[in-house]
Amino acid sequence: MNKISFLQLQNEDSSLAERMAYIDFKLRFTGFINRSDLNDMFGLAEAAASKMMKKYTEIRPNNMEYNRSLRANAITVDTFEPLIIVDAETALGMLANGFNKHKLIDKPMLSYSRVGNIPNKLSVDSVSKITRSISCGYAIHTDYHSRSSNKKEQRTLFPLAIVFDGKHWIFRAYNENDGRFKNFSFTNALNVIEDSSLIRDSFKELAQDKEWNTQVPLLLIPHKNLTKQQQQDIKLDFGIKDESKIILTERAALLWILKNQWFIDDRTDSEILKDTELNKCKFYKFKLTNKDMVDVMTENLQPAIDNMK
């Protein structure tokens, strides 16, 4: 007997389809679902939520079972057959911004195209394992391709949060190998294996990550080496109004990313002089004008250079 598809459900009963899709998504990417989730999402009373759970098990009978320790219905990974087809980037976007049924049916309100879109750049299977471990609080093992050493290294990680820098999806994790909190690229995490027997200790929680929880103020101005037209273009691109500066705060854990994405010059006077003597002409969009303050706030934290290893 052929299992019913999401498209069939959508054609028959769009309201039911949305609720079934939400259960399916929540199971796959967080590892569990309970009645309160359906109440929060759809305002369903307990009896109605139970009815939706039962309906889902009729549609996908081997996808979940009750887990007493979680006090919720948990995914049965070995037999899970997804109801909805969703790519990894869409899934991460919904985990960050909330479930959106319109993302599943690809019907934008206006004509839309994304530049340079690479299909299946991220593995849905790997991403779901990582996001489930964040939600459920256990470890993953992975052959991680390190950018610093340019080789694969076996690592045991406790993923904690997801980050999007405008181009790439990243996850913050406690690295069991060296006992430090760091940023990791989803694309570089290969052969991901979940380990639900290795539970995250309290000192490995995101609340203990000083870099993540330290907000650093930044005062940026368009770089003096830019032409007047380039400076004006940057002002328009970044919404700089009357004053020629940007004031923002960023997590210390993400400063390295912002510096490289925005081409921020945070060199000291001696470093600038040395680059000038060596005739090094680097392109910068902004100059960090409160470097002394940033250095004071981050001097007792993990070195920023470690964040993307």
| Domains recognised in the chain with CATH numbers | 6-85 (1.10.10), 124-208 (2.30.30), 212-308 (no CATH)
Closest CA to 73 of 88, 96, 52: 52
First-to-last CA distance in the chain?
49
**Residue 134: pLDDT above 60?**
yes
Confidence of residue 304 (pLDDT cuts 50, 70, 90): very low
Flag the least confident range among 96-100, 254-258, 281-285: 281-285
Instruction: Answer yes or no: is pLDDT of 309 > 60.
Output: no
User: How far is Cα 226 from Cα 68, in angstroms, rounded to an integer?
Assistant: 62
199: CB partners within 8 A, 6+ apart: 137, 138, 139
**pLDDT, tens digit, 9 for 90 and up, residues 193-229:** 999 999 999 999 999 999 999 999 999 999 999 999 9
Q: Which of 105-109, 179-183, 295-299 has the highest mean pLDDT?
A: 179-183
46-50, 67-71, 94-98, 193-197: the lowest-pLDDT one:
67-71
Between CA 65 and CA 76 the distance in angstroms is 7
- 253: confidence class by pLDDT, cuts 50, 70, 90: very high
Q: Within 10 Å of residue 257's Cβ, how many Cβ atoms?
A: 21
Calpha distance 228→222 (Å, rounded): 10
- Helix residue spans in the chain (DSSP H): 6-12, 14-30, 35-42, 46-59, 88-97, 102-105, 124-136, 210-213, 228-237, 255-262, 269-277, 291-298
Q: Is the pLDDT of residue 25 over 90?
A: yes
Strands 215-222 and 189-199: unpaired
Residue 1: what residue type? Answer: M
What 3-state class would DSSP assign to 301?
coil
Over residues 222-240, the mean pLDDT reads 93
- Both tokens assigned to 65: 């079972």
Q: What is the pLDDT of residue 302?
A: 57
Contacts of 301 (CB under 8 A, 6+ apart): 210, 211, 214, 252
Q: Are 56 and 123 in contact (CB under 8 A)?
A: no
What's the whole-model pTM score?
Answer: 0.92
307 pLDDT exceeds 50?
A: no
For 216, residues 6+ apart whose C-beta sits below 8 A from its C-beta are: 249, 250, 251, 252, 255, 294, 297, 298
| pLDDT value of position 303 | 52
